[in-house]
């Protein structure tokens, strides 16, 4: 395929979607990030979006956002986790229940509340352990009573 063929293909896609590549990028980015919201997932399930084969295919297509070149634009990384979960039919069915939605939401809040503080604490403890080991290794040997 030549460069001119690629340009023609881009123009064909643009004419079919009626939006530029940049607009499509922003629309898909916003949609993928919306998947980080359990209430939105519940709404999609209750409005039968997950029963539409074209919509499921679209969710599969959106997995390209997991590639490093694209995921760097994601502000809410849990969106990619939920995108993976949405590939599973049992999750799509379960998230339609308000009890599951609330459970997922509570777990998400728990994660936000504790993940970073726990990582900071682990890092500080690791640094303290490293400092103690270095100090022990560098300390002169104690004279043995004799």
Region of residue 83 (left: phi > 0; alpha: psi -120 to 50; beta: else): alpha
**Domain 19-136, second-level architecture:** Orthogonal Bundle (1.10)
DSSP assignments along 73-132, one per residue? T-S-THHHHHHHHTTSHHHHHHTTSHHHHHHHHHHHHHHHHHHHHHHHHHHHHHHHHHHH
Is the model's pLDDT at 2 over the cut of 50? no
Is the model's pLDDT at 9 over the cut of 50? no
Is the model's pLDDT at 7 over the cut of 50? no
Q: What is the pLDDT of residue 11?
A: 55
Domain ranges (residues) in the chain: 19-136
Mean pLDDT confidence for 50-79: 96
Per-residue pLDDT tens digits for 27-40: 999 999 999 999 99
Is the model's pLDDT at 114 over the cut of 60? yes
């Amino acid at each position: 395929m030549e460069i001119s063929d690629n340009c023609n293909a881009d123009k064909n896609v643009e004419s079919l979607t009626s939006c530029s590549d940049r607009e499509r990028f922003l629309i898909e980015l916003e949609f993928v990030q919306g998947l980080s919201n359990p209430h939105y997932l519940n709404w999609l399930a209750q409005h039968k979006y997950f029963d539409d084969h074209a919509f499921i295919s679209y969710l599969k297509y959106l997995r390209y956002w997991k590639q490093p070149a694209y995921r760097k634009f994601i502000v809410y990384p849990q969106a990619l986790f939920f995108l993976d979960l949405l590939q599973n039919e049992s999750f799509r069915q379960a998230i339609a229940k308000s009890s599951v939605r609330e459970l997922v939401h509570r777990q998400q809040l728990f994660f936000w509340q504790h993940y970073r503080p726990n990582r900071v604490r682990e890092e500080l403890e690791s640094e303290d352990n490293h400092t103690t080991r270095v100090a022990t290794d560098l300390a002169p040997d104690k004279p043995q009573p004799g």
